[in-house]
Amino acid sequence: MSRRFPSSARPNRAGPAKTRYHDSVVSLPRALSKLGFCSRTEATALIDQGRVMVDDRPVHSPSQRVDLRRARIAVDGRSVIAERPLYLMLNKPRGLVTTRRDPQERGTVYDCLPPDLPFLSPVGRLDKASEGLLLMTNDTGWANYLLDCCATIRVRIADNQDENGGGVSVGTRGEAPRS
């Protein structure tokens, strides 16, 4: 589980967590994720274990909403400070899945990253058999901006055309070739 606390080299930033997001009132797990501390799933586990405090009060419900601009959030008694936005381009190799942890214990894209990085989320995903550019960031606003657009995906397929019309079989539908 990733833990991001201010280092001793940073000045002590007492007071509310600082963020640049417009949607500042969010659930506590989302707040911890936006601050780059951990994933929402990990945050829910921390809350269930009673390790999270907001404004010096213990929180036991993951559904509690907090204002990122004003709330003082702490885990295990230590303040959670917003990480600087980090943007990473990864040339994802074939054979890795785009997930933090895989229940089937396959390799993940996180195996390619140094362990000391703050929590990063992939912007979209690439299938296990795919390779290519995968953007990763702790800036959820930027990630949502990128994901909220049209995309054109080019796919190269090994000879899977049907014999009648030259189309490609997709599930139960046949797609006509584009001219």
Dist CA 77 CA 118 (whole Å)? 19
- Contact by Cβ (8 Å): 87, 139: yes
Q: Which of 91, 96, 143, 103 is nearest to 119 (CA)?
A: 143
Q: Which candidate in 48, 55, 111, 127 is catalytic?
A: 127
Say how many C-beta atoms besides its own lie within 10 A of residue 76's C-beta.
12
Q: What is the edge-to-edge ordering of all strands in the sheet holding 132-137?
A: 87-92, 132-137, 121-123
C-alpha dihedral (159, 162, 166, 171), degrees to nearest 10: -90
**Does residue 127 have an active-site annotation?**
yes
- Contact by Cβ (8 Å): 121, 162: no
Residue 67 DSSP SS3: strand
Q: List the beta strands (DSSP E) in the chain.
A: 25-27, 52-54, 57-58, 65-67, 73-75, 78-79, 87-92, 121-123, 132-137, 168-170, 173-175
Residues classed as catalytic: 127
